[in-house]
Amino acid sequence: MNTKPFEVALSVIQSVAIVVSLVFSIRGFRAYEARTSAETMLKYSELLDSGTDLKIYNALEHDQSILKEHKGKFTSDELEQFLEDLELLDDAYEGKVINDSMAYDAFSEEIDRVVQNPEIAAYLAVVRRTDPTYFVGIGNLKDAFDEYKKRNPE
């Protein structure tokens, strides 16, 4: 009895089964990755949409002064904490904990406002005299979001 055709058929079936399980594994990993990204993005949204961070962002949104020394409502420590929270967001983005589209959709407007605000720019210029790398993650996010927008026009 010739078992060669049976062996070939069995080999093909095994190969197809391996490919199918690989496809399902990749899909499962992508779903897990998207879910993790969404959960992390929501945590950062909660952080930035509460307390002093939210109040600073509202001041930015309404073109109000930020620092008390410029007739704003916030101390330099409070502004620094806000900027540090944005730096943490950059760390998560650079570490690919938050994916490009979710980060862009959730935070690009906030980053644009921060980068374009003359009071924050002046503050950053002063603190960067001591350390030029201070809060560079905010600029990195702006660059990454601009690049994302070029790759994904609306």
Q: Are 74 and 123 in contact (CB under 8 A)?
A: no
What is the tally of structural domains in the chain?
1
The residue segments making up the domain with residue 116 are 35-151
For residue 131, is it within any domain? yes
For residue 46, is it within any domain? yes
Tokens, residue 107: 């935070």
For residue 4, is it within any domain? no
Mean pLDDT of 17-27: 60
For residue 127, is it within any domain? yes
- Quote the percentage of the chain above a pLDDT of 70: 73
Predicted pLDDT at 61: 93
| Distance set, CA 103 to CA 9, 40, 92, 94, 119 (Å) | 48, 10, 10, 11, 25
Is the model's pLDDT at 66 over the cut of 70?
yes
For residue 110, is it within any domain? yes
Predicted pLDDT at 20: 60
For residue 27, is it within any domain? no
For residue 137, is it within any domain? yes
For residue 59, is it within any domain? yes
**Which backbone phi and psi does 67 adopt, to 5 degrees?**
-80, 145
pLDDT in tens, 28-37: 555 556 566 6
Q: At CA 71, angle to CA 118 and CA 134, rounded to 5? A: 40
| Interatomic CA distance for residues 98 and 101, integer angstroms | 9
pTM: 0.73
Which of left, alpha, beta for 117 (phi over 0: left; psi -120 to 50: alpha)? Answer: beta
